[in-house]
Amino acid sequence: MLIGFFFDWKGIVHYEFVSRGETVNKEFYLHVLKRLREAMRRKRPEAWTNTTWMLNHENSPAHASLLIREFLTKHETTVVPQPPYSPDLALADLFLFPKLKSSLKGRRFQMAEEIEENSIRDLLAIPQNTLQDEFQNWRKRWEWCIKSGGEYFEGENFKFR
CATH code of the domain covering residue 35: 3.30.420.10
Average pLDDT across each block of 10 residues of the chain; the chain has 161 residues. List them in order: 83 88 93 96 92 86 94 93 73 82 87 88 90 88 78 56 44
124, 126, 130, 135: CA torsion to nearest 10: -40
Model pLDDT, residue 37: 95
Model pLDDT, residue 155: 53
Q: Read off the pLDDT of residues 115-161 as tens digits, 9 standing for 90 and up.
A: 889 888 988 899 999 989 988 888 888 888 778 776 666 654 555 44
Angstrom distance (rounded) from CA 80 to CA 87: 14
Q: Which of 145, 158, 152, 26 is closest to 80 using CA atoms?
A: 145
Q: Is 112 a member of any domain?
A: yes
Instruction: List the domain range (segments joined by +) for residue 84.
Output: 2-92+99-126
Model pLDDT, residue 1: 63
Q: Is 9 a member of any domain?
A: yes
Q: Please report which residue ranges of the chain form alpha helices under DSSP H.
A: 26-43, 45-49, 61-64, 66-74, 91, 97-104, 112-124, 128-147
Model pLDDT, residue 158: 52
Q: Is 16 a member of any domain?
A: yes
DSSP 8-state class, residue 155: G
**Number of structural domains the chain divides into:** 1
Model pLDDT, residue 161: 44
Model pLDDT, residue 20: 84
Q: Is 160 a member of any domain?
A: no
